[in-house]
Amino acid sequence: MSTEEDQKLSREHFQRAYARQMKGELDEAVELYKKSIEVLPTAEAHTFLGWTYSFMGRPQDAIAECHRAIEIDPDFGNPYNDIGAYLIEQGALDEAIPWLEKATRAPRYESYCFPHYNLGRIYEQKRLWKKAIDCYRASLGHNPQYMLANVALRRLQAMMN
């Protein structure tokens, strides 16, 4: 098969996997993401496979897939943010910070609002109010419509008054 054909088949498996994932058909999504990776390993497929594992309550597998994604494309921001988010859920706040900071600097990322918001969550839990507020503002600077950051910022601002 040519590279173009591989890309097309891999993309088709990926799109089908994502559709299954969004329907909550997680086992089917896992198999389709694996097929996509088998045809052509991409950072996106590994990251989304990890995301599916996280929905299945498998954070270590999710983190492992994110590491594979980073090996393929260290410029892709999603896996850095996802590792940080999985670590937050495990209570490993200090361990999550460097991953989220890397996500804020990743050259290829469409949603910089997420790692800034996640950093804000950490600093809020650590009672570092000023840092949390700065992170929520940075999140809103990247996406003024991001409701979670907006709510968090307003909550902290009200608390500070």
Q: Dig out the tokens for 94 from the structure.
A: 């200090």
**pLDDT tens for each residue of 110-121:** 899 999 999 999
Q: Which residues contact 3 (CB under 8 A, 6 or more apart)?
A: none
Q: Where are the domains of the chain?
A: 1-110, 112-161
Q: Exposed e or buried b for every residue in 45-55, given b needs 16+ CB within 10 A? A: bbbbbbbbbbe
Query: In the structure, what pLDDT confidence band is assigned to residue 144 with cuts at 50, 70 and 90?
Result: very high
Radius of gyration of the chain (CA): 17
pLDDT beyond 70 at 139? yes
Instruction: Give the global pTM.
Output: 0.92
pLDDT band at 2 (very low <50, low <70, confident <90, very high): low
What's domain 1-110's superfamily in CATH?
Answer: Tetratricopeptide repeat domain (1.25.40.10)
Average per-residue pLDDT for the chain: 96
